[in-house]
Amino acid sequence: MSYDTVIKGGTIFTPTASFVGDLAITGETIAAIAEGGGLEGEKEFDASGKYVFPGFIDPHVHIHLPFMGTNAIDDHASATQAALVGGTTTLIEMICPGPDDEPRAAFEEWKQLAEEGACCDYTFHLSVVRFDDVAKNQIRDLVANEGVQSFKVFLAYKGALNISDDNLFALMQMARELDVTITAHCENADAVDLMQKQLLAEGKTGPEWHEPSRPRCVEADGVNHLCAFAELTGASVYIVHTSCAAALDRAIEARRRGTRVMVEAVAPHLVLDKTYAERPDFEGAKYVMSPPLRDAEELDALWDGLADGTIATIGTDHAPFNFRGQKEMGLEAFTQIPNGIPSIQERVDLVHTYGVAAGKIDLRTLVNACSTHPAQQFAMFPQKGALAVGSDGDLVIYDPAFFSTFKHAQSLSKVDYCGFEGMQRKGRAELVFLRGCLAAREGAFVGKQAAGQYISR
């Protein structure tokens, strides 16, 4: 039997095993997997000496993002092309409406933008920043009729995005009823606000003061607060961009009590420390994100959490703001620096270089954290996140022997800098397939424009 496409001789990572063999795709789905090989196809690709991974899933991305008086610089075409060349075939974008926006209108706005430009598959988390009767009814409608299965809350950004405890409790009760997930940015909004005002009053205005304004105890308190509400309501919660051991410990404690809590790390927190945000001449602004970069010791705590399974997923929190003209909005006060360290293209290579090649995690952990676990947590498995017969033909032929450095010149994102410039890079996605079609080759996008599909979950 001949198939449309056959990947030959690579080390294939299925959900339960890894072995050398062949993988066949017919149409948009995986049609056969043969340990030891022997499959034939109209198109054949040699993967000898390379890994065959399921297409990677980024569970935490910002593309269309109004924030701090400006908007993220990427569009859906640039961000998703960058994602694809890095091996990411599906992403979950955060819809971030303002407090006066209706959830349905926000969903339709973001979805239309994605339909017009997205080159990889996509779905959404919807941020809840209002929770009146209109919002409640629309949230129910989006769950029932649009397949929205996850919602975002902010325990940060006082007066802008944060949600009151009354609304948080009611939303989490609804989430338990509807069996959807609440994803959460965990800090203490009031404590951050007070710390920021105090530091600015003392003349401490540079980006190096961003981390002291929202220290580890503030993040840990936010995790504890969220988990208390999850314990009370029975809701399933997912803690985004966890940056430190103190916050992770609170989640672990809650999990031991039976709370349904999953923890995410993001690429910048795994490879960068707070000295980057302390660079002189305002260059540190490139590295301002929330929660902030921490002391170097926290990197090991996060890698350890990935290795032992207490951290389940690795996203990016990709939020691309130019250094010139956008980050510079905060020249007089660090509180005005748009938050974000772009990493949608670099994520998997960073994890392979500084996790797998450094001996901190194994390849199975990379696959689980960057693909399988996000698919399982967010109701896309086994359509996504698996090399299995019947799953979408999303896969990555990954070359672990490739060696280079990270360079802004290679980025397909529109942002004007690379947060990992000059750092070692071991491994890359050599070929990337989206639903059976070749979408990226050796760092170049070769797929179809706007070919991404919305995943109703």
Q: Which residues contact 453 (CB under 8 A, 6 or more apart)?
A: 121, 122, 435
How far apart (Å, rounded) are the C-alpha atoms in residues 281 and 284?
8
Confidence at 436, pLDDT banded by 50, 70, 90: very high
H/E element, 291: none
Six token digits for residue 392: 């979408």
* 146-191 pLDDT tens trace: 999 999 999 888 767 778 899 999 999 999 999 999 999 999 999 9
How far apart (Å, rounded) are the C-alpha atoms in residues 72 and 18?
39
How far apart (Å, rounded) are the C-alpha atoms in residues 446 and 437?
10
Six token digits for residue 174: 């609804």
Pick the closest to residue 195 from 54, 85, 284, 290 (CA basis). Answer: 290
pLDDT score recorded for residue 279: 98
Six token digits for residue 98: 């303002």
How far apart (Å, rounded) are the C-alpha atoms in residues 324 and 282?
11
* 181-219 pLDDT tens trace: 999 999 999 999 999 999 999 999 999 999 999 999 999
Q: Which residues contact 113 (CB under 8 A, 6 or more apart)?
A: 63, 64, 75, 76
pLDDT score recorded for residue 178: 98
How far apart (Å, rounded) are the C-alpha atoms in residues 348 and 90?
13
What value does the mean pLDDT take over residues 329-335? 97
Pick the closest to residue 69 from 287, 286, 324, 336 (CA basis). Answer: 336
- How much is the mean pLDDT over the chain? 97
Six token digits for residue 70: 């400006």
CB 270 within 8 A of CB 351: yes
Beta bridge mates, 123: 92
Pick the closest to residue 455 from 382, 404, 366, 406 (CA basis). Answer: 382
pLDDT exceeding 70 applies to what percent of the chain?
A: 100
Confidence at 265, pLDDT banded by 50, 70, 90: very high
> Which residue reads 């996000």 in tokens?
374
* 88-146 pLDDT tens trace: 999 999 999 988 899 999 999 999 999 999 999 999 999 999 999 999 999 999 999 99
Which CATH superfamily includes the segment(s) 2-53+386-445? Urease, subunit C, domain 1 (2.30.40.10)
Determine whether 20 is exposed, middle or buried from the number of CB atoms within 10 Å of its CB (0-12, 13-18, 19+): middle
Confidence at 347, pLDDT banded by 50, 70, 90: very high
pLDDT score recorded for residue 158: 77
CB atoms under 10 Å from CB of 400, counted, come to: 17
Each domain of the chain, given as residue ranges in start order, spans: 2-53+386-445, 55-377
pLDDT score recorded for residue 1: 85
> Which residue reads 């799953």 in tokens?
391
Which CATH superfamily includes the segment(s) 55-377? Metal-dependent hydrolases (3.20.20.140)
How far apart (Å, rounded) are the C-alpha atoms in residues 130 and 109?
17
Report the amino acid identity of residue 443: G
